Structure 1
C-alpha cells in the first residue's frame, strides 16, 4: 500500500510498474546492507525503487510499524546504540550454534558477531554448495571467509552422505563441482544402489506430470504395486499438475492435504463454480 501511494505521488500507474519486483528489491537491500550503509544504485530502475524505499520507510516510521526484515536491522541498530543491552545478551549466551549457516545474510552475521564477542564461542553448521538465497542477501562467502574472521576456528568437513545412494550423490557431486565459489570437496555415499537416477527435461509442469504418471502406469503393468511409488515435490503448488493427472488415471493414490488445498482456495472455488454452472444451469 505504501509503495502504491508513493507511485501515485510520483504520477506512475501501478498497473505498469512491477510492484512485486520492487518489494523484492527493497527486501534485498534491507538484508544485504547494514542500516546507514550507502547502497550502490546501478541503473535508473534501482534509483526509482530506492525513492519508493525511502517513502516506504518514512510511512512505517510515522506509524511506528515494523516489517519482517526490520526485526534484524533494528536489532543491529539497538545493539549499536545501546551497548548496555548488547552486554546483557552477550553475558546471557555462553555458546551460540547456527544451523543452515549458508543462508545467513550480512545483517544477521553482523548481529551474530556482536553477540558472540568477546568469547567467540560460536559453532556454525552449513554447506557452501547449498547457498541459494542470494536474492535475500545471503552468500557462501560467510562460510568461505569464516576462518579469516575467526582465525582460531576449527573446521570439520562432513563429506559422507547417509541419506542418498551412491548414484544420486555422485550425480549431484558432478553438478555442484561447477560452482565457482566453494570449498573443494568430494562427496561420498554411505550406501550403494544399482538403480541410477533418471534425468528428463520436460517443457513445463504439465508435460512433467504426464511423463511421471505414464511411467508409473507402465511399471504397474509390468508388476509393480502402487505402494512402490512416492512422488516428492518442493512446494504444494508444484504438485498440482501431478495431482490432476493421478486423479484422471486409474492409479489409487493418497495426496498430502497441501495439494488438495489448492482447490479449496476461495478464488479457485469461485472459478470452478462458474465452470460447473456453464455445464449445468441447475448446479
Structure 2
C-alpha cells in the first residue's frame, strides 16, 4: 500500500474521511481498513455495516472481505440493509408483518395521475414517478413539493400543484394497498429508530462501526438513515470523491462529504491522489477537465498523480458529420483489436442513449460485436418500435411529397413528436429517439434524393436487422452515467458538442458544472487509450452548424489540427464540395449555434424586429390550415418559424426557403399563402 492508503487503513476507530480520486484504490483501501479493525480485535465482523449504492459494488466488497478474513461483515446497499432491519423490527413496532414491496409502482402512479387528470402515457408516468422519488429522497412531502421544486430548479413534467396532488394520491393508494416502495424502506427504518428508543438501542448494540462508500452520492433521506444508525456515536468511515457527483438530479449532494471535517473536528482526513488506473497522459487530461471548474470546494480539490508508465497522448478528432465520426471510431477499434486490445476492453461513451444508433450501425457494418450497457439497443426501444409501426402505416396511405424528412416528422407527430424538446426525463429520452429517426430521414434524403417513406421504412428494417447481433463479448456502448464505476483499456468519448455536453437543458451554472463532472468521469474510465471526438453535422452531408463542447476548447493541444483557427481548420478538414457557411446572426454577424437562434436567424439576445401584426395574421392562417389538414398547428409551422418569417419578411420563394424549418415540401404546400400574407401586410 502507498503511504496514504496505509494511513487510512490503520487510522484508529472513530470518524475517518477518505477523499479518494478516480483510480486511487478506494475499494481496496476501505476493505483493508475493515479487515484491519477486525483482525486487531477492535470490532467484531458482525458489528460492522458497510453500505454502498449498487448491488454489484456491495458484492465486490463482500468478495474482497472474505478473502481478507472478514467474512462476517455486512456489506449491502442502503435499501437492502434497511429492508433487513424492517423485517426484524416492524412486527415489534406495528404488531404485523412488514408490508411487502410493491411490484407495480408504475400502475399506482398511473392511477394517481388519472385521478388528477394528468396524462397516463408511459413516459409521462415515468417522469411523475421520478419527481415523487426525488421528493421522498429529499425528505419533501406532497405539500412542500411546489416550493422545493422551484428552489431546486426542477424541470417539472407538469404544473407543480398537480404533481403535489399526484404525489398525495399515490401515497394514499399505496398505503391503502399496504405496500412499500423503495424509498419507504429508508423512511420507515429512520422513523422506527428515531421514535422507538428501545429499538434504536438494540440496533446500536448490534452494529458499532459503519462504512459508507461513494459518500458524495448520498441524498438527504440516506443521510437521515445513517444518522439514525449512528445516534451520538462517531465510529464512521466515509469514502468519496466530490468530483464524481453526477446524480444531483436524483437528490445526491456532496455537502456531507465536503462538510465531514466540520461535523467531526477530530476526524482523520486522508487524501488518495495516486492514480493506479490510468496512464499519466490520461490523468493529466482528467486534471485539466476538472481543474477548469468555476467553483471547487476545498474538499474537492484532488489532483490525481499518474502511477503507471507513460502511454499514448489522448487523441482529439473533429468530423464533418456523425456517420463519419462513427465509421472512423469503428476503424480505430478494429486497429486496436489487431494490436491485441480485447474488444471487451473498449468502450464508446455518450451523453444520451439516443446517440447510440449511429455507433451501433458503424460497428455492425464493420462486423464488430458490441453490447449496450444500461439501456436497450436503439431499435429495441419501445418508442422506436412504435414509431416504425406508425411509419409503415403512413407509407401505405400517404402520397410521396418529395420532402422525406417533413413526411417523417408529420407521421411521428401522431405519436407525440414536437419541434421543441421536452424539459427532461423520460419524455425527453423519448423525444430524442424520435428526432433521431427524423435525422436518419435527412441522412437518407441527402444520399437518395428521390427516397420516399416506403424506401425509408425499408432502410429502417435493414438497420434494425443488422443491429441485433447475438449477445457476445464485444465493445461496450454506454451513457456516461451508466459508465460510472467501470473502466476499460480504450475509451472513446463521442458527440462532444454544445447542446449535448453540456446538455441543452443545463441552464444554470450548477447544472453546467455537473456536466463537466460527467466528462471527468468519462475521461477517468480510460486506462491507456483515450479519444475525444465531435462532429459538425448530424446527418451525412448535413449543414455544419455545431460547435464543439466548451469543455474541449482548452484541452486540445496547440499542435493538433483541431486547435487551428477556424479558417485554417476548414481547409485542413473539409473537402471543397462539403464546405458550407455556418449560419450567422443577421444583427451582429456572430456565428449561430443554438437551435432556436438558427431558426430565428439571430442571437436570442439581439433585438427583435418582429412585425406583431403580421405574426398574428400568420398564426391565424396556420390555425385554419391545421384545422383543414387535421394536424397539430406545429406540423404546419412552429412558432419559431412564424416568428422568423414575421421578423425577416421574405419577398420571394428563395428568401422564404432560406428560413430554417421551411423546406421544398412546405414551400410547395404553404409558400404562396405566406408570401401573399407578407405582401398584403406591406400594402396595408
Calculate the TM-score normalised by the size of structure 2: 0.35
Q: For 1:146-186, what per-residue CA distance to the aligned partner results, in whole angstroms no more than 9, with x for missing partners? A: 11222221100001110001111111111112342432232
Larger Rg: 2
1:225 to 333, 338, 346: 338
1:87 is the counterpart of 2:201: yes
Residue among 114, 125, 132 paired with 2:228: 114
Separation (CA, whole Å) in 2 of partners of 1:209 and 1:48: 43
Match of 1:45 among 154, 159, 169: 159
Aligned with 1:165 (options 265, 279, 287) = 279
Deviation of the 1:20 alpha carbon: 2.3
Equivalent residues in 2 for 1:165-184, closer than 5 Å? 165-179=279-293, 180-182=295-297, 183=299, 184=301
CA distance change for structure 1 residues 178 and 55 in 2, over 3 Å: closer, same or farther? farther
The answer for the alignment partner of 2:363 in structure 1 is: 246
Does the 8 Å CA contact 1:167/1:193 hold for their aligned counterparts? Answer: yes
Instruction: Please say if residues 140 and 148 of structure 2, whose CA atoms lie closer than 8 Å, have aligned partners that are also in contact.
Output: no
Shift of 1:89: 1.3
- Structure 1 residues 259-274: aligned runs within 5 Å: 262=377
Larger displacement relative to structure 2 (56-65 or 44-53): 44-53
Q: Secondary structure at the match of 1:120?
A: coil
Q: Deviations over 1:233-275 (max 9, x none)?
A: 469x7766544423322x5x45459699849969799979x97
1:138 corresponds to: 252
Match of 2:316 in 1: 199
Are the structure 2 counterparts of residues 177 and 63 from structure 1 closer, same or farther at C-alpha, using a change threshold of 3 Å? same
Counterparts of 1:187 and 1:243, CA distance in 2: 34
| Structure 1 residue ranges without an equivalent (≥5) | none
Normalising by structure 1, report the TM-score: 0.78
2:307 aligned residue (190, 203, 226)? 190
1:34–1:117 Cα change, 3 Å: farther
Structure 2 unaligned segments of length 5 or more: list them: 1-106, 151-157, 390-456, 463-684
Q: Is the 8 A contact 2:142 2:164 kept in 1?
A: no
Any residues of structure 2 matched to 1:54-73 within 5 Å, and which? 54-73=168-187
Please report the RMSD computed on the Cα atoms of aligned residues, expressed in angstroms. 3.8
- Identify, as 1 or 2, the structure richer in strand: 2
Larger relative contact order, structure 1 or 2 (CA cutoff 8 Å, min sep 6): 2
Q: Secondary structure at the match of 1:156?
A: strand
**1:17 Cα offset (Å):** 8.4
Change beyond 3 A, Cα 1:143–1:202: farther
Contact 2:113 2:125 in 1 (8 A): no
Q: Is the 8 A contact 1:140 1:181 kept in 2?
A: no
Residue 18 (structure 1) shift: 3.1
* Residues 200, 41 of structure 1: alpha-carbon distance in 2 compared, 3 angstrom cutoff: same
Give the superposition deviation at 1:93: 1.1
Distance 2:364 2:280 in 1: 34
More displaced 10-residue stretch of structure 1: 186-195 or 118-127: 186-195
Q: Deviations over 1:18-38 (max 9, x none)?
A: 332222111111111266994
Give CA-to-partner distance per residue, 1:194-240, whole Å, 9 cap, x none.
411123467997554323113345x47xxx716336421469x7766
Aligned pair in 2 of structure 1 residues 38, 171: CA closer, same or farther (>3 Å)?
same
Aligned-pair distance for 1:62? 0.6
When residues 69 and 19 of structure 1 are mapped into structure 2, their CA distance, relative to the original with a 3 A threshold, is same
113-122 vs 102-111, greater mean Cα deviation: 113-122
Q: Secondary structure at the match of 2:316?
A: coil
Count of residues paired in the alignment: 270
Contact 1:102 1:128 in 2 (8 A): yes
Shift of 1:59: 0.5
Question: 1:19 aligns to what?
Answer: 125
Tell me: CA distance 1:261–1:147, structure 2 relative to 1, closer, same or farther (3 Å). closer
Displacement of 1:121 after TM fit? 0.3
Q: Distance in 2 between matches of 1:110 and 1:259?
A: 29
